[in-house]
Amino acid sequence: MDGELVTIPEVLLVGSSGRKMPLLGLGTSTSLLEGSQETKTAVLQAIEIGYRHFDTAKLYLTEEPLGEAIAEALSRGFIKSRDELFITSKLWCSDAHAELVIPALKRSLRNFSCKKLSDILAFAKIPPAVNQVEINPLWQQKKLREFCKANGILLTAYAPLGAKGTLWGSNRVMENKVLKEIATAKGKSVAQVCLRWAYEQGVCVVVKSFNNGRMKENLEIFNWTLSEEESRMISETPQSRGCRGEDYISEKGPIKTIEELWDGEI
């Protein structure tokens, strides 16, 4: 794809007045070894090769370098308008108090189970358009995918490759024997197989890599398909959640157990 600008498929978000969301985005959650300049450089390279969706958060400390990269991309002509980009950020738990919401949004939904989404849909005047959760071939979230599809909610996958390098992630997805077998047979990387699988499930993916070669490779998933047999093999892969969420529970807090956190979807 050298010299070519990849066009990433988009999906229309329900209730968004015509707003479309690219189905593949670049994650910007960084380790302590990566600084703002590395983030800015990676985002700028990503825009240049075709990425139009970027995922950030106040906690990641990448909102500022992301903004700087966008400004430079505009000045260098990589994009003509900020409107060409779709930026996902998050309202963090510590900013959920009524008086903090608007200020936090001006500075910058995820992990909802079927039960939590049902509770929201029962009274929300503005229903959620996107739910960002862990999805990959080893945690496929079939029940949640079916629920969201029936209710017009787009799912975005974080950790589509297993989130190796994070505090909770591992290489279990990238080292899975079934995925390696399919990748070898297709002449693709394991990462490409994982991303293609998610795309074929109608799931948007946010994948993190600041390596230019891998960023390009991750875009090369739209001109081939998995066979029925390959899809079946992936569907039969043993399932377990990678991010169990121990840090989100407390005996003294409103959510005391892992089962309660995920409403039994573990």
Which residues lie closer than 8 Å to 214 by C-beta, 6 or more apart? 191
In this structure, what DSSP letter does residue 92 have? -
Q: Residue 103: its pLDDT value, please? A: 67
For residue 211, count CB atoms less than 10 angstroms from its CB and return exposed for 0-12, middle for 13-18, buried for 19 or more.
Answer: exposed
Under the banding of pLDDT at 50, 70 and 90, the label for residue 106 is: low
Tens-digit pLDDT profile for residues 110-143: 678 899 889 888 988 888 899 999 999 999 999 9
Q: Residue 33: its pLDDT value, please? A: 53
Under the banding of pLDDT at 50, 70 and 90, the label for residue 94 is: low
Residue located via tokens 């081939």: 224
Q: Residue 171: its pLDDT value, please? A: 96
Active site amino acids: 60
Tens-digit pLDDT profile for residues 216-261: 999 999 999 999 999 999 999 999 999 888 877 888 777 889 888 8
**From CA 193, how far away is CA 199, in angstroms rounded?**
10
Give me the phi and psi of 85, to 5 degrees please: -105, 150
Does position 101 have pLDDT exceeding 70, yes or no?
A: no
H or E element that contains 131: strand 130-134
Q: Residue 104: its pLDDT value, please? A: 58
Q: Residue 35: its pLDDT value, please? A: 67
In this structure, what DSSP letter does residue 93 have? G
Tens-digit pLDDT profile for residues 145-183: 999 999 999 999 999 999 988 878 899 999 999 999 999
Tens-digit pLDDT profile for residues 27-53: 998 765 556 899 999 999 999 999 999
Tens-digit pLDDT profile for residues 185-206: 999 999 999 999 999 999 999 9
- The answer regarding whether domain 10-261 maps to CATH 3.20.20.100 reads yes
**Average confidence (pLDDT) over 83-99:** 79
Q: Residue 108: its pLDDT value, please? A: 40
Q: Residue 264: its pLDDT value, please? A: 79
Q: Residue 247: its pLDDT value, please? A: 78
Q: Which long-range contacts (CB under 8 A, 24 or more apart) does 229-238 make?
A: 230/182, 230/185, 230/186, 231/197, 231/200, 233/178, 233/181, 233/182, 234/137, 234/178, 234/179, 234/182, 234/197, 235/140, 237/137, 237/138, 237/140, 237/176, 237/178, 237/179, 238/138
Coil vs helix vs strand at 176: coil
The full DSSP string for 191-260 is HHHHHHHHHHTT-EEEE----HHHHHHHHTTSS----HHHHHHHHTS----S---GGG--TTSS--SHHH
The three state secondary structure string of 33-63 is CCCHHHHHHHHHHHHHHCCCEEECCHHHCCH
For residue 10, count CB atoms less than 10 angstroms from its CB and return exposed for 0-12, middle for 13-18, buried for 19 or more.
Answer: middle
Q: Residue 144: its pLDDT value, please? A: 95
**Average confidence (pLDDT) over 66-80:** 97
Tens-digit pLDDT profile for residues 209-218: 999 999 999 9
